[in-house]
Structure 1
Amino acid sequence: MADTQLVVRKVSPWSALKITSAVGFIAFLVWMAAVGLLYLILAGMGLLAPISELVGGEDTIRAGLVLGIAAAVGLLWWILTVGLMAIGAVVYNACSDLVGGIKVSLSDDA
């Protein structure tokens, strides 16, 4: 069984941006579903009413408010992640010019 060694010398920032955008969008949808499900569970258990009374009166914690804040946090996370991954690709390319990149060994699994 012969191993083949490859070296990753360059990563396209555009490719990193596209992949991170797609994965980030799916993660955003999962985040929103998880927050919505958690809200429904807490509301069904009756745990939101006492918290609402502590915060500022009856019905201060509504689904629209919770999902709106979750959407804002999720979008901010998505934008930061996409930007940082594109910058990370540029930084990797600069570092790979100095040290030679990452060596990857591939082998046949036959």
Structure 2
Amino acid sequence: MPARDVAVTRISPLSAFRVGLAMSLVGLVAWLLAVVLLYFGMGAAGVWDQVNSLIGGVGGDQVITFGMVISVATLLGAIGAILTSVLAPLSAVIYNAIVDLFGGLTVSLQEEAE
């Protein structure tokens, strides 16, 4: 089976942005699903009732609700998605600068016989 070496010498910042955006959006959906499942699991265990009674016993009016939890989780996830989308093209630019100095990644491709 013949093998050939391919060098990755340049990554387009636009394609890095698109891939980073797609992956961060998928990560955001997975994050929100995990938060929802964790919220309902903790609710079934009675954790939120105990936390809300503790907050009320200290003198607070704020209770932890599903809307508050999902809002905070969405805000944190959106910040993470934006940071990932912005840092992906920046990483591609840094990679391209380093490749100009030292050379790119070499990947060995091997074809499989059918």
Q: Same fold (TM over 0.5)?
A: yes
**Unmatched tracts of structure 2, length 5 or more:** none
Question: How far is 1:58 from its partner?
Answer: 7.1
**Unmatched tracts of structure 1, length 5 or more:** none
| Matched positions, count | 110
TM-score under structure 1 normalisation? Answer: 0.93
Match of 1:3 in 2: 3
Percent identity between matched residues is: 35
| Moved >2 Å (runs of 4+) | 53-59
Question: How far is 1:54 from its partner?
Answer: 2.3
Match of 1:93 in 2: 96
TM-score under structure 2 normalisation? Answer: 0.90
- Cα distance in 2 for partners of 1:105, 1:98 equals 21
Contact 2:32 2:70 in 1 (8 A): yes
Which residues of 2 match residues 74-89 of structure 1 at below 5 A? 74-89=77-92
Contact 1:13 1:90 in 2 (8 A): yes
Match of 2:108 in 1: 105
RMSD of aligned Cα (Å): 1.4
SS at match of 1:19: helix
